[in-house]
Amino acid sequence: MDLLKSIKSKGKSIEAEMSFFDHLDVLRGHLIRSAIVILLLTCLCFFYYDFLFDVIIMGPKRPDFFTYRMMCRIGDYFKLGPDFCITSIPGKIINTQLGGQFTLQINSSLLVGIVLGFPYLLWEVWRFIKPALLEAERKSASGFVFFASLLFVLGILFGYYLIAPLSVNFLTNYKISEIIENTITVDSYLSSVATLTLGTGIVFELPIVIFVLSKLGIMTPKFMRAQRRYAVVIILVIAAIVTPTPDLLTMLTVSLPLFLLYEVSIWVSGIVFKQKQVAEKAFYAK
């Protein structure tokens, strides 16, 4: 009898292990398809690199960049003075490595390929987790790919057109002594712009993260409202760091979307919390 029990338990263990490896195999398929799409987009960026580098990557370093032109128009309209209008970005960008420019082309093409392929990656992740969800959970999370992709794109645009150029302008103009001349390596420039842009895109996923945490019962709207004053301070500090001038208008321009993002996250958490309360009442009413 003991032998039969051990054989049965071993069989169940093998079946569970096979099921686990089957899931890994399915996940591998989703990841391979995502990698192929990202690789194709990377190749496309590599072959059209002149436009990618001159117009997009070096955009925040050019004084005719869209953000700087808009700042000049806003400064003229509101009479904010010449300091608000950015007409030159100092600092010479150099390459210090033998294969630096070739590596730059590969890295930046891959980076843009990942950004362009991010919505498809989210779709593959959704296809993987969807079969494990209940029908009600599928309906509540049906817009996951759309909203996550939309927030990511909005974050990328906000970071690229606002955070990155303002930071580049501030850092290239910052000097502790006239003796020191700002000569910037191209790797440093690319990593700074990429970090600011991608970082903002990830930060804009906050409502999605709050949605998941609220579903798990980790986050509540009450807790987020209680921590609102700390969030306001953090957002204002970030805005003060990246803005080139200390005027209120510029700080509000940077901080307002972040305030809205936090409030949207509270709203999302509140919706999930109410849905859980309604489900609990329905369960105990049976």
Residue 184, pLDDT score: 92
Across residues 34-59, what is the average pLDDT?
A: 94
Residue 251, pLDDT score: 72
What gap in Å lies between CA 273 and CA 263, rounded to an integer?
Answer: 15
Per-residue pLDDT band for 4 (boundaries 50, 70, 90) equals: very low
Looking at this protein, which amino acid is placed at residue 74? I
Structure-block tokens of residue 95: 């390459």
Tens digits of per-residue pLDDT, 78-104? 877 777 888 889 889 999 999 999 999
Say if CB 30 and CB 125 are below 8 A apart: yes
Residue carrying structure tokens 């909005």: 154
Residue 8, pLDDT score: 45
Q: Hey, CA dihedral for 36, 42, 46, 50, is it positive or negative?
A: positive
> 109-145 as b/e, with b when 16 or more CB fall inside 10 Å?
bbbbbebbbbbbbbbbbbeeeeeeeeeeeeebbeebb
Residue 189, pLDDT score: 93
Beta strands in the chain (DSSP E): 92-94, 183-185
Tens digits of per-residue pLDDT, 43-54? 999 999 999 999
Q: What is the pTM of this model?
A: 0.83
Instruction: Please count the helices (runs of H) and the strands (runs of E) in the chain.
Output: 12, 2
Structure-block tokens of residue 150: 């939309």
Tens digits of per-residue pLDDT, 173-184? 888 888 888 899
What gap in Å lies between CA 249 and CA 32, rounded to an integer?
Answer: 46
Distances (CA, A) of 263 to 139, 146, 152: 24, 20, 17
Q: What is the mean pLDDT of the chain?
A: 83
In the predicted structure, residue 10 carries a pLDDT above the cut 50: no
What gap in Å lies between CA 56 and CA 40, rounded to an integer?
Answer: 19
Structure-block tokens of residue 130: 């969807």
Residue carrying structure tokens 């309906």: 139
**CA angle, corner 229, sides to 227 and 232, nearest 5?**
115
